[in-house]
C-alpha cells in the first residue's frame, strides 16, 4: 500500500503541459457524474491470480480498480479475448469510451477499429510502449493516447542485464543439461565468457538504456550508446559511456548489442540482413524493445549461421507468439514470453499510474506531460 501511495504521489507531482495541434479532436473531458464504458485487455492469470495479492496486471485482478470504477457508476469490462472479428473486445468497440491495454498482451488498435469506435476518447497503456495502436489514425481521430511513463523502466533494465549474462555465460544449455539428467561441462564452457572487458552498445539510451548502462558500469565493460540525443557530459562521465553518433560505426565494435528504442515506422524492420551483416561475427543481441524492430527471418538465418552468437529477448511479433514462430526453435536463443516489464513491482506502479490518469480524465485535468503519446493531434517526439 505504501508503494502504491508513493508511486501515486510521484505521478501527481509531475508537471503537465498542453500542446497545440491542427486536427479536430473528439471531446476528451469526462463530465462529472457522466458514466463511462471502460474496457481493459490483459493477460489471464488462471490459477496464479490468487497466489499474490499484488498481482494486479491480469484479467482476474483488473489493475485493482474495478470496485473504484463501479462505485462511481462506470462500467468496467475486462477480457483477454482480443483477436478476430468475433472476439470479446470487438463486441465492445462501438460503444466504449476508454480502452486500457498492456504491452504484454496488447489489444491491437487499428485504424479500422478506431473508425468503428464512435465513442472512444482515451487509449491508455498500462505500462510503456504504445506501438500496438495505430498512432497516426488515433491522432487524426483526435484521440488521446497515454501510457505510464517510467513505470517499468527499472524492471526492463534489470531484465536486460540478466539476459546479457545468460548469453555471455552460455547458461541455457547448462540448465537444460540438469533438467535432462546430463553432465557435460565442455558443452557449456567452450562458448562461455566473462563480461568484464567486453564492449556493450545500446541502440537507444532513454530511461531504460541509461539505467542499463549504469548497471553495467561495475562490470568493467566498454560502454557505447547511440541515440538521437546525446547525454549531458557530466552524466556520460558518471556512467562511463561514450556517445557514437553513427550507428554503423558503433555496431561493428560491439560484443553485445542491446535494443532500447521504440517501434516506429522508421525502426520497423531496421535490423535487416544488411544491418545485421555489419555486426561483429558472434555478436550477442538482447532485445526487450519490440520484436518488429528485427527482421524475423534475417535473425533466424544469422543465428543459424553463427553470425549472431546468441539472441535473447521477451518481445515478439505478433504477441502472443504463434507456436510456429521460428524464434522458438532457432539455436542459441534465450527467449521468454513478454515478461520483463510486468514484475509485481512494475504492476503496482503501472496500476497506480493508470488509476491516476483515469481520475484526471474524469475531472477534466491534464495528465503528467511525459505520459502523453498522442495529444491534440500530435505525436510524442519519439514516435514522430
SS3 sequence, 185-250?
CHHHHCCCCCCCCCEEEEECCCHHHHHHHHHHHHHCCEEEEECCCCCCHHHHHHHCEEECCCHHHH
Q: Is 266 marked within a binding site?
A: yes
Quick check: bond before 370 cis, omega within 30?
Answer: no
Looking at residue 25, what is its pLDDT? 47
Write out the three cell numbers for 86.
Answer: 468475433
Residues 6+ apart with CB under 8 A from 368: 11, 14, 15, 16, 149
Q: How confident is the model at residue 303 (pLDDT cuts 50, 70, 90)?
A: very high
Task: Name the catalytic one among 74, 97, 105, 290.
Answer: 290
Average pLDDT, the chain: 92
Question: Cα–chain-centroid distance for residue 307?
Answer: 27
Residue 325 burial by Cβ neighbours in a 10 Å radius (0-12, 13-18, 19+) = middle
Q: Is 336 marked within a binding site?
A: no
At 200-227, the pLDDT tens digits run: 999 999 999 999 999 999 999 999 999 9
Looking at residue 384, what is its pLDDT? 78
Looking at residue 34, what is its pLDDT? 87
Residue 108 phi, psi dihedral angles, 5° rounding: -75, 110
Quick check: bond before 318 cis, omega within 30?
Answer: yes
Whether residue 318 is predicted with pLDDT greater than 50 in this model: the reply is: yes
Whether residue 188 is predicted with pLDDT greater than 80 in this model: the reply is: yes
Q: How confident is the model at residue 31 (pLDDT cuts 50, 70, 90)?
A: low
Verify whether residue 319 is a known catalytic residue.
Answer: yes
Task: Name the catalytic one among 61, 152, 333, 347.
Answer: 152
Whether residue 182 contacts residue 302, with contact meaning beta carbons closer than 8 Å, is answered with no
Q: Strands 372-375 and 378-379, how do they pair?
A: antiparallel
Q: How confident is the model at residue 70 (pLDDT cuts 50, 70, 90)?
A: very high
Verify whether residue 12 is a known catalytic residue.
Answer: no
Percent of the chain surpassing pLDDT 90: 90
Verify whether residue 338 is a known catalytic residue.
Answer: yes
H or E stretch at 355: helix 344-363
Q: Is 340 marked within a binding site?
A: yes
At 251-271, the pLDDT tens digits run: 999 999 999 999 999 999 999
Q: How confident is the model at residue 4 (pLDDT cuts 50, 70, 90)?
A: very low
Task: Name the catalytic one among 170, 319, 347, 371.
Answer: 319
Distance CA 213, CA 211 (A): 5
Whether residue 24 is predicted with pLDDT greater than 50 in this model: the reply is: no
Verify whether residue 152 is a known catalytic residue.
Answer: yes
Whether residue 286 contacts residue 308, with contact meaning beta carbons closer than 8 Å, is answered with no
Q: Strands 308-313 and 333-335, how do they pair?
A: parallel
Q: Is 341 marked within a binding site?
A: yes
Residues 6+ apart with CB under 8 A from 155: 340, 341, 342, 343, 345, 346
Looking at residue 33, what is its pLDDT? 59
Residues 6+ apart with CB under 8 A from 223: 199, 200, 201, 213, 216, 217, 239, 240, 241, 242
Q: In which residue are the cell numbers 559511456 written?
A: 241
Looking at residue 18, what is its pLDDT? 33
Looking at residue 14, what is its pLDDT? 36
At 9-23, the pLDDT tens digits run: 443 333 333 333 323
Q: Is 238 marked within a binding site?
A: no
Looking at residue 28, what is its pLDDT? 55
Looking at residue 30, what is its pLDDT? 57
Write out the three cell numbers for 152.
Answer: 517499468
Q: Is 262 marked within a binding site?
A: yes
Least confident of 73-77, 264-268, 340-344, 346-350: 264-268
Task: Name the catalytic one among 338, 347, 349, 360.
Answer: 338
Amino acid at each position: 500500500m505504501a508503494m502504491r501511495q508513493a508511486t501515486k504521489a510521484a505521478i501527481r507531482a509531475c508537471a503537465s503541459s498542453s500542446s497545440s495541434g491542427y486536427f479536430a479532436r473528439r471531446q476528451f473531458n469526462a463530465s462529472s457524474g457522466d458514466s463511462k464504458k471502460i474496457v481493459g485487455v490483459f493477460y489471464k492469470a488462471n490459477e496464479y491470480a490468487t497466489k499474490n495479492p499484488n498481482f494486479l496486471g491480469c484479467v482476474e485482478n483488473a489493475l485493482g480498480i474495478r470496485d473504484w470504477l463501479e462505485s462511481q457508476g462506470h462500467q468496467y469490462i475486462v477480457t483477454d479475448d482480443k483477436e478476430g472479428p468475433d472476439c470479446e473486445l470487438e463486441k465492445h468497440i462501438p460503444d466504449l469510451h476508454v480502452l486500457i491495454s498492456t504491452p504484454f498482451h496488447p489489444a491491437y488498435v487499428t485504424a479500422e477499429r478506431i473508425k468503428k469506435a464512435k465513442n472512444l476518447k482515451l487509449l491508455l497503456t498500462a505500462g510503456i510502449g504504445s506501438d500496438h495502436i495505430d498512432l497516426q489514425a488515433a491522432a487524426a481521430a483526435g484521440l488521446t493516447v497515454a501510457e505510464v511513463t517510467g513505470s517499468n523502466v527499472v524492471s526492463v533494465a534489470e531484465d536486460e542485464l540478466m539476459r546479457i549474462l545468460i548469453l555471455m555465460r552460455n547458461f541455457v544449455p547448462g540448465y537444460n543439461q540438469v533438467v535432462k539428467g546430463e553432465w557435460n561441462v565442455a558443452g557449456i564452457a567452450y562458448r562461455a565468457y566473462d563480461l568484464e572487458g567486453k564492449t556493450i552498445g545500446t541502440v537507444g539510451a532513454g530511461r531504460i538504456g541509461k539505467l542499463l548502462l549504469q548497471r553495467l558500469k561495475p562490470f568493467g565493460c566498454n560502454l557505447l550508446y547511440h541515440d538521437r540525443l546525446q547525454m549531458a557530459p557530466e552524466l556520460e562521465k558518471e556512467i562511463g559511456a561514450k556517445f557514437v553518433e553513427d550507428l554503423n560505426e558503433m555496431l561493428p565494435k560491439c560484443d553485445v548489442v542491446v535494443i532500447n528504442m521504440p517501434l516506429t515506422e522508421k525502426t520497423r524492420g531496421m535490423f535487416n540482413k544488411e544491418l545485421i551483416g555489419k555486426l561483429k561475427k558472434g555478436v550477442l543481441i538482447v532485445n526487450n524493445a519490440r520484436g518488429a524492430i528485427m527482421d524475423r527471418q534475417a535473425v533466424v538465418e544469422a543465428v543459424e549461421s553463427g553470425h549472431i552468437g546468441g539472441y535473447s529477448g521477451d518481445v515478439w511479433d505478433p504477441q502472443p507468439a504463434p507456436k510456429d514462430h521460428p524464434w522458438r526453435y532457432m539455436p542459441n536463443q534465450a527467449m521468454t514470453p513478454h515478461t520483463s516489464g510486468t514484475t509485481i513491482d512494475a504492476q503496482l506502479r503501472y496500476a497506480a499510474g493508470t488509476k491516476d490518469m483515469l481520475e484526471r480524465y474524469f475531472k477534466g485535468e491534464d495528465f503528467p506531460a511525459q505520459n502523453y503519446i498522442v495529444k491534440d493531434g500530435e505525436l510524442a517526439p519519439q514516435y514522430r
